[in-house]
Amino acid sequence: MPTINKADIERALDAWADHLLQGWAARGSAQLGIVGIVSHGDILAQRLVKKLETAGCQAEYGAIDITLYRDDLDLRGKRPALRSSHLPFSTDDMHLVLVDDVLSTGRTARAALEVLWEYGRPARVEMHCLTDRGGRQLPIQPDYVAFDLTTASTDTVKVSLQELDGKEEIIY
């Protein structure tokens, strides 16, 4: 199985932050919010906000749990594990960057958009992801991808982040 290591992920996050800085600078004084999808997307979002702050760009940080907005709850056969959303700002008229670790069918992104609209009406929402494995079932495309992977629908993509998993790698 191919592996992307910690150094590759760190370089990708630096490039990702540079991309965000360029986009933010082009928009002038637009308020920027980086919102991660729990549980790996929010860790990536935290890291991106820190990198942006180091470069002099202020960005709001938030995290959303999409569990109750999933369209497959009845197919899972067990009670969902609920986690807290943390979005301490109104999304009204903000430029939001929705962050996740793996984009595949687009169903998680669809659920995340529903959650975001409960917090306000953003001026713009972009979808950014660490990996895109393809296999869309919905017309949702990322605005930014760090690693574009070619995988079969039966393959798995496992993202491990130090803060949650004690190691840093992507195995696919």
For position 113, which CATH number holds?
3.40.50.2020
Within a domain: residue 26?
no
Within a domain: residue 138?
yes
10 Å Cβ neighbour count for 86? 14
* Residue 49, token pair as written in the block: 């906000």
Question: Helices (DSSP H) in 55-159: which residue ranges?
Answer: 73-76, 107-117
| 101-113 confidence digits (pLDDT tens) | 999 999 999 999 9
> Total structural domains in the chain?
1
Within a domain: residue 77?
no
Containing domain of residue 125, as a range?
Answer: 3-21+31-71+82-171
Band (1; pLDDT cuts 50, 70, 90): confident
Answer whether residue 169 shows pLDDT above 60. Answer: yes
Within a domain: residue 109?
yes
Within a domain: residue 76?
no
Residues 17 and 51: beta-carbon distance below 8 Å: yes
Within a domain: residue 149?
yes
Answer whether residue 29 shows pLDDT above 70. Answer: no
